[in-house]
Every structure is written in structure tokens, then in C-alpha cells.
Amino acid sequence: MKLLQKLITKPKIFQRTLGLDFAQFKLLILRMKPLWKQAECERRKRKSRQRKIGGGRPYNCKTLDDMTAIVLLYYKTYMTQELIGLIAGLDQSNVSRLLKKILPLIEQAADPELATYLAQAKDAFEKIPPHQRLNDFGTFLQKYPDLKEVATDATEQQCYRSENYETQKKYYSGKTKQHSLKTQISVSITGRVLDVSETVPGSIHDKKLADQENTVRKFPERTVQRMDSGYQGMIKEHPEFYVVLPHKKPRKEELSPLAKELNRTHSKRRVIVENVLSRIKKFRISAGLYRGDIGDYNAIFRNIVALINFKLATTVVSV
């Protein structure tokens, strides 16, 4: 693809266009190759296949580098599939099929631990005898340092209004005054996303989503879990967990200076989740109006999160 060839010679434009620098892009391709080969082998051997292997018109986009670049370009810019097709020399239908093929591979290649890290850590923590967990928590953190402290929050993204009254009513968010999709993330103090919830209609409250996901209990009891004021009641419902909420202003009274200072400290510690949400929304498919199939939204959102974690893990900090 000529676009990819041109981008390779312009590193800054490469990153702004695809969301990764060239070294990160090549590493992602290296991780995707075995996944792609396995997926293609399964696709060709499927029982429902009607056409012989190699049948049909020649496919202009042949290399995995080109195909992945198209998907990243779509995620980063959220141009229409027709425009992506004009740039890549493909029909819109081929672009759509390509997006479907690559969809299940991005998360596996970029951050394979996203789906398993918390469960493995919680299992390791529960193997520690209860009377030793307080003393052994430091040792536990040496293996799972991201579980020292996390911040949790939900984000909404606008979607199309359904023609069906019951469906559109379910997706209407009174908070944002629009039809939307809501997804919750939990982020460590290093900026690594540890958990991504299922995507739910925007009408569902943040706390209800956390209750449905059983978010608090996904973490060890000693992990500091910071949440905003929308999660009121979490401390009472989970007294054995270390949940931190901001102090709520009493009716017709003022917060004490100590409470205000604690809230400021809490906000400074919790802002990491807001920063990560901002990074996610730099991929334009996660910001503004989502035009695609709602059934694919959560997988796409997880792919973006996996790419954010991938960038964090592979960014070289110069001294």
C-alpha cells in the first residue's frame, strides 16, 4: 500500500496517523503473524465454506502490514469505510470484511494479559492464608505491582438513535442528554488499564454497572480502589475492601478544611483514569458519534485499550 510506504519515511506523521510509532507497529505485526495464520487456517477449513481456496477476484491488500495499517488508520481517524477504500485501493465491502477479520486479533497481539491479568492475580492472592495476607501483601505486590492502587471510572459515547421506541429509550442517557454506550475501566497508578467492563446502554448508572460487573471484588482486599462520587455506597456494601470515595458535602453545610484537602489528594490520585480515557479518545472511533454495529463496540473498545497498554509497555523513555 502506497500510504504505508509514504508514512514509513515520515515518523511523526506515521504516529499521528496510525497511533503507533514505526517500531511499535512492526512489533505488533510480529505478534499478529501467528494469530493471523491460525485464524486464516480456521477460516479456510470452515464447514460452511462454499468457494474453493483461491477463488474469487484478486485481493489488492495482501500483506499483514498493509491490512493492519488500514485497521489502525480506521481506528485513529474514523474516516468512512468508503474513504479508507479509496486510499487503500479497495471496495468498501472489502474494507468491512477486513475490519471483521482483524477485530479479534488486535487485543490478543497488543495485550494478551488484559483478559486474564486480574483473574490470575486474584487467584494468587486468595491462595495466601487469610491471617498472612496483611504481612505478605508487599511480597504479592512485587509480582503484581499494578495492584497497589487503581482508579475506576465509566465513559459514555454517543450512538445512533434506534427507530424502535423501547430500544432508544434504553440507550438514552439523562446525564448526557443523548443516546449513548457506557463502558467502565479500571486503571493502575502507572496508567495500565487492568479491567474493561461489558458495554451497556447509557441509561445505566455508573454504580449499577460496577455492581453488575462486581468490579470491587475483582481486586484483592488490600488494593486501594479510588472512585468518584457517582459510586456512593460502595464503602458500606464492601467494608472488607479498601474503597476510597470523595467526601460528600453535607446538605446546607460546608466541608471541613481536612475533608477538602482529602478530596484534593483523592482527585490528584484518581486523575490517572481521566488521563487514560483521554488517550483512548485520541482514537477517533472512541470519540464523537459511533456509527458502527453496537455488537462490535466492546471488542473495538478493548482493542483500543490494548493498544494503549501496548504503547505504554513499549515506549522507550529517553534520559
- Residue 53: what pLDDT? 66
Q: Which of 72, 90, 110 is the last residue of a domain?
A: 110
Q: Does residue 318 surpass a pLDDT of 50? A: no
* Residue 105 sits in the same domain as residue 149: no
Measured in whole angstroms, the distance separating CA 253 from the mean position of its chain's CA atoms is: 39
Q: What pLDDT, in 10s, does the model give residues 265-275?
A: 999 999 999 99
Higher-confidence position of 241 and 131: 241
* Residue 294 lies inside a defined structural domain of this protein: no
* Residue 289 lies inside a defined structural domain of this protein: no
Domain containing residue 237? 117-281
- Nearest Cα residue to 91 out of 49, 61, 63: 61
Q: Are 162 and 179 in contact (CB under 8 A)?
A: yes
Confidence of residue 319 (pLDDT cuts 50, 70, 90): very low
* Residue 103 sits in the same domain as residue 151: no
Q: What pLDDT, in 10s, does the model give residues 34-79?
A: 999 999 888 777 777 666 766 666 666 679 999 999 999 999 999 9
Q: Does residue 140 surpass a pLDDT of 90? A: yes
Global pTM? 0.93
Interval 172-193 mean pLDDT: 95
* Residue 192 sits in the same domain as residue 246: yes
Residues 6+ apart with CB under 8 A from 256: none
Residues 6+ apart with CB under 8 A from 213: 184, 197, 198
Residue 245 CA to residue 225 CA, distance in Å, equals 9
Lowest mean pLDDT among 37-46, 48-57, 99-108, 232-241: 48-57
Q: Which of 249, 266, 281 is the last residue of a domain?
A: 281
* Residue 230 sits in the same domain as residue 95: no
Domain total of the chain:
2
- Residue 251: what pLDDT? 86
Q: Are 215 and 184 in contact (CB under 8 A)?
A: yes
* Residue 126 sits in the same domain as residue 237: yes
- Nearest Cα residue to 222 out of 113, 138, 142, 151: 138
Lowest mean pLDDT among 56-70, 92-106, 245-259, 276-290: 56-70
* Residue 188 sits in the same domain as residue 169: yes
Interval 175-191 mean pLDDT: 95
* Residue 173 sits in the same domain as residue 40: no
* Residue 205 sits in the same domain as residue 65: no
* Residue 166 sits in the same domain as residue 100: no
- Residue 236: what pLDDT? 94
* Residue 255 sits in the same domain as residue 235: yes
* Residue 101 sits in the same domain as residue 166: no
* SS3 state of residue 53: coil
DSSP state at residue 204: S
* Residue 40 sits in the same domain as residue 130: no
